[in-house]
Amino acid sequence: MKYEITHIMQKHTNGPAEYRNHFLTRIFGSPYNGCYVLAVAIFSLGILRDHLYNRALADQPFYQPVSQPYLAYGLFATGNTLVLSSMWALGLTGTYLGDYFGILMDAPVTGFPFNVTGSPMYWGSTLSFLAVALYKGKVAGLLLTLEVFVCYWLALKWEDPFTAEIYAKRERDRAKSKKGGKRA
């Protein structure tokens, strides 16, 4: 799943680079246009990732004890519910690194699915990979799912503090602006 590592590294390189240098904003004329282009790229790479995962599993032997179709159905439904409901709650720019473009939400989303887990897209995606492995009865799928889990876990070790700092900076700037407004 070398591709998954590359995909996450690309996302976590482009996002901070945009935040610091605004290179996509400059190329595409606005933060929204830059975010939309990055969204298409991330979404497309995700489709390619899923295709490569399924192709890798197709070449692996079936192992009956791993085949758990009913558990797979439940995990797939849960995983996709987490992913799709988080996309709905965040919207396009919230889902696809809009905060790195300066497109910030008014407040953190705390309702479902964020009241279940702080990273519903990552954990929902991981559950979906696990579901496919169990549905197809592929040990290799379990190992690849473990790799996806580790990649997402490591990504969050960096992403969560970075995102928290973006919002903390906004609050500091707002406080300075209010302070400056009172003096005038």
Binding-site residues for S-adenosyl-L-methionine: 77-79, 159-160
Q: Which of 144, 155, 120, 141 is nearest to 10 (CA)?
A: 155
Distance CA 75, CA 89 (A): 21
Q: Residue for token digits 């282009």?
A: 37
Reference 42, options 2, 78, 12; nearest CA is 12
For the chain, the maximum distance between any two Cα atoms, rounded to a whole number of angstroms, is 74
Q: Given phi > 0 = left and psi -120 to 50 = alpha, else beta, which region is 97?
A: left
What's the CA gap between 61 and 166, in Å, rounded?
46
> Which residues participate in the annotated binding site?
77-79, 159-160
